[in-house]
Chains A and B, each alone.
Chain A
């Protein structure tokens, strides 16, 4: 028998209240290693909350969330409103994906990896700019590069393609598909557009009450 720990996510009867409002209602699900999961549903159905529960950013009001992935990356919905006062340039932002704990410092090799990642995502030429100086599509590629540079085994993405041009959307889709094939990582992604998901994706539908609809 192999000693390898089976990585998976399990939600058991999870309910989540935001203030007095029930956002997620009795959700049970299982996600296995190497799966590509699409979370879909109407606006306000609780998709982002479900992703945050999986990421353990929020704790459930009732029920249990288990997630034994060790390297987790989470991409929140884009909100660059306050980022015009952010001091770092794009190269430094991407480097945060490698080292972000206290008492950590970048080595020469780390910076080499950052530069390779910038090249891979086609954002090398904007690496000396600040995030508020580039287009929405480029911002999204920067954020994705920051999430992927550390090669996570679980990637959680909250609408990474919302509000950006078709060309960049296709590029992001390709990056994700390529990354998953190479690393067998698990990807859970929210999007309004089914076109954004690769063909192997399995879907979780949420209705407006925050319940899972079984197809």
Chain B
């Protein structure tokens, strides 16, 4: 049984190296996933992240059944799926929403079938993940990847924003939009697949979408949008870690709930201030 002292003393958590590792992982994910999320949502692709994190799950299932390297399988599977999404979006723009839904269902269906043949406990850890079981090697991979993605986002910031704003104008300016979009798609899918492998696809989906919704409600410029989404996911991640540690709750699920709680508070505050403004008018 959990004693009262344990519940009210979350700082005890700092004694444990697994907790410190989890804090570091949350900090890294809070930096990198919302940036990807802001970019995807500017392009109008919010659903892409969700779809990719689930397709990476199908890749993991293939790897588990094959008995080797689920990470590699999930990266390959995600890249193929993301290129397929990009292709459908270009060739049949009107059907792109339905294409996402089909790829998402296909991946989940395939995962469902394969999960019968994979060890159940392992499989669950890939779906829901556990920040407390992340090892040092995975932390190093995440550090390297975070640095790479941030460098990419800075160097390609203007071209990605311009393509999101008006792809046709970029084409008329002589930019190789297809090449740039393909690079973007591959980097996004690798990041999502890797992060899903390490912390579970549930957490990846929530980090990539919910803080972005918070920041779009509260900011006007790209810079503030990126900063607010990073800070909001950092708060949710840290709070979630402490709460789940103190009350022995599932860590990924708790972080998602805190993320949603922050979003609801922001929506409520926004709603009230909007009503006040309208009353003044």
Q: Which residues of B contact A103 (CB under 8 A)?
A: 155-156
Which of B46, B162, B171, B174: most chain A CB closer than 10 A? B162
B161 at interface by CB-CB < 8 Å: yes
Name the residue on B nearest A105 (C-beta): B158
B166 at interface by CB-CB < 8 Å: yes
Tell whether, in the assembled complex, residue A88 and residue B159 are in contact, meaning their CB atoms are under 8 Å apart.
no
Which of the residues B156, B172, B215 comes within 8 Å of A56, measured between beta carbons?
B172
Q: Which of A4-12, A33-41, A91-99 contacts B (4 or more CB under 8 A)?
A: A91-99
Q: Which residues of B contact A145 (CB under 8 A)?
A: none
Which of the residues A57, A85, A92 comes within 8 Å of B171, measured between beta carbons?
A57
Q: How far is the CA of A82 from the CA of B165 in the complex (A)?
A: 10
Which of the residues A82, A101, A147 comes within 8 Å of B169, measured between beta carbons?
A147
Q: Which of B1-9, B53-61, B218-226 contacts A (4 or more CB under 8 A)?
A: B218-226
Tell whether, in the assembled complex, residue B41 and residue A74 are in contact, meaning their CB atoms are under 8 Å apart.
no
Tell whether, in the assembled complex, residue A55 and residue B222 are in contact, meaning their CB atoms are under 8 Å apart.
no
Which of A75, A96, A99: most chain B CB closer than 10 A? A96
Name the residue on B nearest A103 (C-beta): B155
A199 at interface by CB-CB < 8 Å: no
- CB-CB under 8 A for A74 and B168, given A96-B161, A99-B158: yes
Which of the residues B44, B156, B166, B215 comes within 8 Å of A76, measured between beta carbons?
B166
A113 at interface by CB-CB < 8 Å: no
- CB-CB under 8 A for A82 and B222, given A57-B168, A72-B172, A100-B162: no
B182 at interface by CB-CB < 8 Å: no
Which of the residues A73, A85, A88 comes within 8 Å of B222, measured between beta carbons?
A88
Q: How far is the CA of A56 from the CA of B38 in the complex (A)?
A: 30
Near B by CB (< 8 A), chain A positions 74-94 give 74-76, 82, 85-89, 91-93
Q: Which residues of B contact A57 (CB under 8 A)?
A: 168, 171-172
Q: In the complex, which range does the number of interface residues on chain A fall in?
A: 20 to 34
Tell whether, in the assembled complex, residue B173 and residue A85 are in contact, meaning their CB atoms are under 8 Å apart.
no
- CB-CB under 8 A for A55 and B172, given A87-B216, A87-B225: yes
A 90-133 to B, binary, CB cutoff 8 A, 1 in contact else 0: 01110010011111111000000000000000000000111000
Q: Which residues of A contact B169 (CB under 8 A)?
A: 73-76, 147
Tell whether, in the assembled complex, residue B180 and residue A85 are in contact, meaning their CB atoms are under 8 Å apart.
no
B170 at interface by CB-CB < 8 Å: yes
Tell whether, in the assembled complex, residue B220 and residue A89 are in contact, meaning their CB atoms are under 8 Å apart.
yes
Which of the residues B156, B165, B173, B174 comes within 8 Å of A88, measured between beta carbons?
B165
Name the residue on B nearest A128 (C-beta): B220
B164 at interface by CB-CB < 8 Å: yes
Q: How far is the CA of A102 from the CA of B159 in the complex (A)?
A: 5
Name the residue on A nearest B215 (C-beta): A87
A52 at interface by CB-CB < 8 Å: yes
Q: How far is the CA of A156 from the CA of B173 in the complex (A)?
A: 11
B 125-159 to A, binary, CB cutoff 8 A, 1 in contact else 0: 00000000000000000000000000000011011
> B45 to chain A: closest CB distance in Å?
9
A 54-79 to B, binary, CB cutoff 8 A, 1 in contact else 0: 01110000000000000011111000
Q: How far is the CA of A89 from the CA of B224 in the complex (A)?
A: 10
Which of A55, A86, A105: most chain B CB closer than 10 A? A86
B42 at interface by CB-CB < 8 Å: yes
B175 at interface by CB-CB < 8 Å: yes
Name the residue on B nearest A72 (C-beta): B172
> B121 to chain A: closest CB distance in Å?
38
Tell whether, in the assembled complex, residue A87 and residue B159 are in contact, meaning their CB atoms are under 8 Å apart.
no
> B139 to chain A: closest CB distance in Å?
29
- CB-CB under 8 A for A85 and B221, given A72-B173, A74-B169, A101-B158: no
B 28-41 to A, binary, CB cutoff 8 A, 1 in contact else 0: 00000000001001
Residues of chain B touching chain A, judged by Cβ–Cβ distance below 8 Å, are: 38, 41-42, 44, 46, 155-156, 158-159, 161-162, 164-166, 168-175, 180, 215-216, 219-222, 225-226
The 4 A-B residue pairs with the shortest CB-CB distance in the complex, in nearest-first order: A100-B162, A74-B172, A82-B44, A55-B172
Interchain Cβ contacts under 8 Å between A and B, 8 examples: A57-B168, A85-B42, A85-B216, A86-B42, A100-B161, A102-B158, A102-B159, A130-B220
